[in-house]
Amino acid sequence: MAAPAPPQPRPLAAGHVLVAMVIALLGGALLNAQAILRTAQQQELGTGRSVALAFAEPLAAMSEALLLDSPRAAIDEALGREAPRRDVTAVPTTTTSTVPDANPAATTTTTIPRPREVTAGAPLQLLIVGDSFAELFGPALVNRGADTGVVDAVVDFRFISGLSRPDYFDWPAYLRGELPTEDYEAVVVIFGGNDAQDVAVGGERFDVGTQAWIDLYAIRVAELMDVLLEHTKRVYWVGLPIMESDAFTANAVMMNSVYESEAVERPAVSYISSFELFQDENGDYNAYLDGKHMRYADGAHFTWNGGYRLADEVLPAIGEDWGFSAP
């Protein structure tokens, strides 16, 4: 007698399949809730951002309550991915809630303390901070500094960060918490890649390019400079280069004027222009200079060649203050 045929699995009903798919999607969303929230936060002001936050904020809260954000954080740490910390705004700051009537007074004095002598045994402790423009420029400056034998540099940059959106990442608050725990003597700064956007403060909207926006941006630049000067002896603020986009170039010129004017008010802050450095012989944007590829296809960010070109401009300015020669 033949053995009975094995029972055939019953196919799932369409409704069960749909439920399983929804559960899987919800589980994936909960596991990645913090990344979803960060993506929503970085969007420009408008209805789309409001809708995205309305979905992402409760999702992130549920994920945290259920500890479902821990696996993603552990994976990111194991892979060396560093996302903006969620607690960086814990240090009190007024930039997200009030708009001062005028630029804050500089906290530095008109007399600059003479920097100490830097040596191989006691190298200059240098911090490099910024947005995505520091991604390759920062490491290039670290390498050039190491070549001198008297500069020990560290890079701390964050993608999609800047000074326009402290609700996403608050640099002054973050550095107020970080700098007292370190012994940095000088800081190199480069921002502006994400700052030319409309912002809202206390229910008031500031449209990029207006005088009100420029005044607010100057306040935030001044605040960061003063925070840095509370804990270091010198600040080197690097301006934005010429861009492929005429609109981005115009915004870069606008923001560079803010950086330079605020630096002039603080003797310990040096403004270093990069605009002309990345112009061609006709004064135009060119991704290739001196036969080398300097800028990525986005028409803005530096390649390694571009990063080193800028580092070779910045390091001599630092060396002039601290008494060493760039290689």
Residues 246 and 179 in one domain: yes
**Are residues 266 and 211 located together in one domain of the fold?**
yes
In a domain, 84, yes or no: no
The answer to whether residues 21 and 136 belong to one domain is: no
**CA 236 vs CA 58, 186, 280: distances in Å:** 41, 8, 25
Q: What is the CATH number of the domain that holds 208?
A: 3.40.50.1110
At 214 the pLDDT is 98
Same domain flag for 317 and 183: yes
Predicted pLDDT of residue 188: 99
pLDDT of residue 72: 55
Domain identity same for 50 and 123: no
Task: Answer yes or no: do 160 and 302 share one domain.
Answer: yes
Same domain, residue pair 66 and 105: no
* 205 plus 270 within the same structural domain: yes
- 41: phi then psi, degrees, rounded to nearest 5: -65, -35
pLDDT tens for each residue of 276-287: 999 999 999 999
Do 170 and 244 fall into the same domain?
yes
Distance, in Å, from the CA atom of 234 to the CA atom of 270, rounded to the nearest integer, reads 8
Report the domain count for the chain: 2
Q: Which residue range forms the structural domain that includes residue 32?
A: 14-78
C-alpha distances out from residue 191 to 105, 144, 147, Å: 22, 21, 25
Q: Give residue 299's pLDDT.
A: 97
Per-10-residue mean pLDDT of the chain, 327 residues long, equals 64 64 68 59 49 59 64 51 34 32 38 84 98 97 98 96 95 97 97 96 95 98 98 98 98 99 98 99 98 97 98 97 91
**34-83: per-residue pLDDT in tens?**
556 545 544 554 445 445 645 665 665 566 667 665 565 555 445 444 44
Mean of the per-residue pLDDT values for the chain?
A: 82
Is there a single domain that holds both residue 187 and residue 248? Answer: yes
Radius of gyration of the chain (CA): 24
Cα-Cα-Cα-Cα torsion 86, 88, 91, 96, nearest 10 degrees, comes to: -90
- The reply to whether 312 and 273 lie within a common domain is yes
Q: What pLDDT digit, counting tens, does each position of 155-164 carry?
A: 999 999 999 9
Same domain, 143 and 71: no
